[in-house]
Structure 1
Amino acid sequence: MVGPIHSLTQTTLNGQQAPVQAQRPAGDFGAVFQQELERAQTRQVAFSKHALSRAEERGIEVTPTLLERLTDSVERAEAKGATNILALDQSLAFIVNVPNGRVITALSEEEMKDSIFTNIDGAVFL
């Protein structure tokens, strides 16, 4: 059986009852949505100090195009719920922490041949 809907009340310290107010987040939906959209659009993958030194040692040039491809890979992996991915193409591979958007290490084609990748939960082709 369905009964009528009653408003909620809360008893205060002095015994009086006060209506319960719904808590709403600051700002309206449109403003919050726009803020999150702008944050997502400006997010770009960054290289850890270790990854930068590995890239330099292995002759991997970190270009704006490569950063864009890695950022796209991270966004696709994030949409699937991955946290640590192997982002790779025919000649390069990167281990990337998705929540932080940080490249952990970089490998060239030569290092990929003998490597075993552990602690990843996804692979994305660049």
Structure 2
Amino acid sequence: MHRIQIQHVPLQPLLQPQKSLKTNTIQTKQSFLEHLQEATNSQELKISKHANERLIERNISISDEEWQVVTDKVFEARSKGVNQPLVLMEQAALIVSAKNATVITAMERTEAKNQLFTNIDGTIVL
């Protein structure tokens, strides 16, 4: 007949007392909240693939300073409830999703004169 052997494995002690675990959990939540706030406060516009193609195709150049002004105004508009503004600049017209912080499309300002813009709920004139 087969003999069955049973080995007793000692229980491993907890690395930290239960009280410390709660403290670490609270610290983790706080650091997560701080990280989340930093991420949501990051005010940077992304450019969609489509918008980037249009900027290149139409040879539209926007300086870093101008992008910063556009970014600031888009986030200001978003704080006032605007979700999809039309941004009119000297050299370009941009449709931006303020909710997603993304430039959706771009065109030359002269090209924008003959366009009908729909699904926008605000305009930023720079």
Pairwise same-fold verdict (TM > 0.5):
yes
Counterparts of 1:65 and 1:37 in 2: how far apart (Å)? Answer: 25
Q: Deviations over 1:37-90 (max 9, x none)?
A: 533443310111110111111111143223212211221111111111101123
SS of residue paired to 2:77: helix
**Percentage identity across aligned positions?**
35
Rg comparison, structure with higher value: 2
TM-score, normalised to structure 2, is 0.66
Consecutive unaligned residues of structure 2, counting only runs of 5 or more, are: 1-27
Length-normalised TM-score, structure 1: 0.66
Q: Which amino acid aligns with 1:120?
A: I
Instruction: Answer 1 or 2: which has greater strand percent.
Output: 1
Question: Which consecutive unaligned segments of at least 5 residues does structure 1 have?
Answer: 1-25
Could you tell me which amino acid in structure 1 is paired with residue 93 of structure 2?
A
Could you tell me which residue of structure 1 aligns to residue 113 of structure 2? 113
Provide the rounded CA distance (Å) in 1 between the counterparts of 2:124 and 2:76: 8
Give me the whole-angstrom Cα distance separating, in 1, the residues matched to 2:36 and 2:125: 26
1:20-40 Cα offsets, whole Å, 9 max, x none, are xxxxxx856xx84x5455334
Residue type of the alignment partner of 1:49: K
Root-mean-square deviation (Å): 2.3
Correspondence for 2:100: 100
Report the AA paired with residue 72 of structure 1. D
